[in-house]
Amino acid sequence: MTAPTSALGSPSTPLPAEVDVAIIGGGVMGLSVAEHLAEISSLRIAVIERSYLASGASGRNGGGVRMQWGDPENIALMIESIQIFGTLAQKLGINTWFRQGGYLFVARNSASEAALVRSVELQRQLGAPTKVVDARGIRQLVPELSTEGVWMAAHNPRDGVVFPWALVWGYAQQAARHGVAIRTHTNVTRATPRERGFELELGTGEKLRAARIVNATGAWSGVLNRSLGIDLPNRAERHEILSSEPLKPFLDPLVVDLTVGLYVSQSTRGELVTGITMPGGHGRGTDIDLGQSLAFLRHLSRALIRLMPVCAALKVLRQWSGPYDVSPDGDAIVGPSPGVPGFIQLCGFTGHGFMMAPAVGRIVARWLARNETHPILARWNPSRFRGETLARRENLIIG
Which residues lie near other proteins (CB under 8 A)? 1-10, 52, 54, 59, 87, 89-90, 93-95, 97, 99, 144, 165-166, 169, 184, 244-250, 252, 268-270, 291-295, 297-298, 300-302, 304-306, 309-320
Between 157 and 233, name the residue whose CB sits nearer to other proteins.
157
User: Which residues make Cβ contacts (< 8 Å) with residue 387, sequence separation at least 6?
Assistant: none
Between 275 and 335, name the residue whose CB sits nearer to other proteins.
275
Provide the minimum distance between the beta carbon of 240 and other proteins in the complex, in angstroms, as a whole number. 11
Provide the minimum distance between the beta carbon of 269 and other proteins in the complex, in angstroms, as a whole number. 5
For residue 193, what are the β-bridge partners? Answer: 198
Provide the minimum distance between the beta carbon of 335 and other proteins in the complex, in angstroms, as a whole number. 32
Rg (CA), the chain: 21
Between 52 and 151, name the residue whose CB sits nearer to other proteins.
52
User: Which residues make Cβ contacts (< 8 Å) with residue 315, sequence separation at least 6?
Assistant: 244, 245
Nearest Cα neighbor of 152 from 179, 118, 128 is: 118
Provide the minimum distance between the beta carbon of 51 and other proteins in the complex, in angstroms, as a whole number. 9
Element housing 207 (H / E)? strand 207-215
Provide the minimum distance between the beta carbon of 9 and other proteins in the complex, in angstroms, as a whole number. 7
Distance (Å, whole) CA 186 – CA 47: 10
Element housing 151 (H / E)? none
Between 205 and 280, name the residue whose CB sits nearer to other proteins.
280
Calculate ∠ Cα 288-293-299, nearest 5°. 120
Provide the minimum distance between the beta carbon of 42 and other proteins in the complex, in angstroms, as a whole number. 25
Nearest Cα neighbor of 49 from 202, 163, 234 is: 202
Provide the minimum distance between the beta carbon of 181 and other proteins in the complex, in angstroms, as a whole number. 13
CB atoms within 10 A of CB 1: 3
By CB atoms closer than 10 A (0-12, 13-18, 19+), residue 92 is buried
Between 312 and 378, name the residue whose CB sits nearer to other proteins.
312
CB atoms within 10 A of CB 61: 24
Provide the minimum distance between the beta carbon of 307 and other proteins in the complex, in angstroms, as a whole number. 10
4-36 CB burial, b ≥16 within 10 A, e <16: eebebbbeebebeeebbbbbbbbbbbbbbbbbb
CB 248 within 8 A of CB 357: no
